Amino acid sequence: MTIRRKSVSESTQGKTAVPGKAALAKSKDPNFRPSTLYLRKKTLADCEYRLKTTDDPRDMSELVEELMTGWLGKSAK
C-alpha cells in the first residue's frame, strides 16, 4: 500500500470558508476538536524527531490524522 502525502500547500488548499481569506487555525475550525492521547514518551519523541529531521511538512496532528484515516479505510475493506 502506497500512501501519498500531501504537500503543505495541498493540505491547506480549499479549506477557507471565503476565497482569498486565510485558513482557520485548527483551534478555531469547527471541523476539528481537541483530543488527548496517551503515547509512550519514546514513541512520541521519535516521531517528533523524525518529522523535524526529514523536513516533513506535517505537524503531529496531521500525522495522526493520516494514520487514523488510513486505518479506517483499511479496516472498512
How high is the pLDDT of residue 76?
76
| CA-based nearest residue to 57, from 70, 45, 66 | 66
C-beta separation of 23 from 12 below 8 A = yes
Which bin fits 28, alpha (ψ -120 to 50), beta or left (φ > 0)? alpha
Dist. CA 67–CA 71, nearest whole Å? 6
CB-hemisphere CA count at 13 Å for 43? 5
Q: Taking the complete model, does pTM exceed 0.75, yes or no?
A: no
Element spanning 65, H or E:
helix 60-75
For the cut 70, the answer to whether the pLDDT of residue 9 exceeds it is: no
How high is the pLDDT of residue 2?
47
